[in-house]
Amino acid sequence: MKMTSIFLRNKSLIASILLWATVPSYNHLVAQTKQPVAKPNAPASDNAVTGKSGETARIDSAVVADLPVILATDTIFALQEKLMGHTSSTESAAISPNGKWVATGGWDRKILLYSLDSNGMFKLAQTFTGHNGAITCLAFDAQSTMLASGSKDFSLRVVDVTTGALKFQTMDHRDAITAVEFDASGKFAMTASADGTIRLYDVANPTNNQKPRFYTYGKPVNDLLTAPNGKTFYIANNSNNDVESIDFTGKVYQRFVGVHTMPVNCLALSNNKQMLVTGGNDKSVVIWDIATGKPLKTLLGHGWKVNSVSFSGNDQYLVSTGNDGEVRVWDANTGVCVSVQKNLITAAREAVFTPNMKRMIVAGKMVAQGATYGALVYTTPPIWHAAKTKPVKPEPIKSVTPSTKPTPKPTPKR
């Protein structure tokens, strides 16, 4: 009778324990288990896994069998620090190919150069001045020895990152410079501008620039980058919704059309040179197959125009920033948004991954940071850079079975 009474008093507790035991493991992220409902009149998309208000859902493989499991550790972007030092909002950011330098440019007309060691520690190494307008774009050369900067003051400046010496400068453009990049050798720098021209400069031998090398595109240029063939370049303009591959004669070799419904703001190439990603005023991010010129994925979720796009070192992920202040990280293979960072920046202008994928740098307009401004540094999900265990070679097994060979008999003495 006493045992029955104890059982009845603890019946609800026992039921709770049994129910808890049947719940699936939370090693998997099951933030949403309902099948997504397509939005009316939404653009067609290969990724097309969206949740409420355009948010891209995180889907567990138990629900959608053809997507990989997204673990909780896949989505953890922890704020490491704020690179303070600017006195107004940052507009641009760049990381050197060797991963040792990080540069940020701001509306205070300054460029801050940080050294980045193997432990992920940042140290302010140089402060560059000389521009008379906001720093709109930054680029390191392939050898990580020079830094080029373009500005709203129409000027291009190239400095030595080690000594801080000015290597080259010009003010040929008649409007803000919107893009700058080096060629593979580091001897030439190419710029694009809102004045509708693309210019090529010999920064190694400036006397060769007496004869200007430029092409008048005729439309304000939003972004530009060199195509994989090294002979043509992709160009996004502010007059139509297309991206063209052209050369300095104006000949068009390829067009990426039919997806964006408003002008394209930003471009990026995958590291394997097989994909082009674009971000536009229409709030969308599009991944294109360069070989065919066809779209592979259309990524939706930003609430305002997209300002920058960039691939991770292994091309599995890409990051996009928007004027809505959101920084979105996408799985480039599935089109799923795996992380959204917001509330620290009101207008996210540019985001880039370090070459080792351990950190993400974000420039933009910070929220209420007093008299100082800068860039945000996030550590990426641990699973992205978890050390791969080396296979252990098993020790050779020593036999413990006595030998079956007969013991040789001693030779009799004569």
Q: What is the pLDDT of residues 10-21, one digit of tens each?
A: 444 444 434 333
pLDDT by residue (tens digit) across 154-203? 999 999 999 999 999 999 999 999 999 999 999 999 999 999 999 999 99
For residue 343, the model assigns a pLDDT of 85
Above 90 in pLDDT, residue 50? no
Q: How many CA atoms lie within 13 A of 85 on its CB side?
A: 22
Q: Is the pTM of this model over 0.75?
A: yes
As a whole number of Å, the end-to-end CA separation of the chain is 96
What's the mean per-residue pLDDT of the chain? 81
Q: Count the neighbouring beta carbons within 10 Å of the beta carbon of residue 225.
A: 18
CA dist 134 to 28, 199, 243, Å? 45, 20, 26
Write the class of the CATH domain 72-384.
mainly beta
The predicted model gives 281-289 an average pLDDT of 97
For residue 301, the model assigns a pLDDT of 96
Q: Which residue has the higher pLDDT, 395 or 207?
A: 207
Q: Which two tokens stand for residue 148?
A: 């080029």
For residue 73, the model assigns a pLDDT of 65
In sequence order, what are the residues at sequence separation of 6 or more whose Cβ sits closer than 8 angstroms to the Cβ of residue 130?
157, 166, 169
For residue 76, the model assigns a pLDDT of 87
Domain ranges of the chain: 72-384
pLDDT band at 68 (very low <50, low <70, confident <90, very high): low
For residue 52, the model assigns a pLDDT of 37
The predicted model gives 95-113 an average pLDDT of 97
Crossing angle, helix 2-9 and helix 11-21, to 10 degrees? 50
| Cα 269 from Cα 211, distance rounded (Å) | 31
For residue 63, the model assigns a pLDDT of 32
Place of tokens 């939404």: 42
Alpha carbon 302 to its chain centroid, in Å, reads: 15
Backbone angles phi, psi at 69, to 5 degrees: -65, 130
For residue 292, the model assigns a pLDDT of 95
Q: Which amino acid is at 266?
A: C
In sequence order, what are the residues at sequence separation of 6 or more whose Cβ sits closer than 8 angstroms to the Cβ of residue 193?
154, 173, 174, 175, 176, 177, 178, 199, 220, 221
Above 70 in pLDDT, residue 55? no
For residue 210, the model assigns a pLDDT of 87
pLDDT band at 397 (very low <50, low <70, confident <90, very high): very low
pLDDT by residue (tens digit) across 343-372? 888 899 999 999 999 999 999 988 755 656
Of the chain, the percentage scoring pLDDT greater than 90 comes to: 67
pLDDT by residue (tens digit) across 225-268? 999 998 999 999 999 999 999 999 999 999 999 999 999 999 99
pLDDT by residue (tens digit) across 217-231? 999 999 999 999 989
For residue 402, the model assigns a pLDDT of 42
Computed from CA positions of residues 84, 314, 350, 133, in that sequence, does the dihedral angle turn out positive or negative? positive
For residue 373, the model assigns a pLDDT of 85
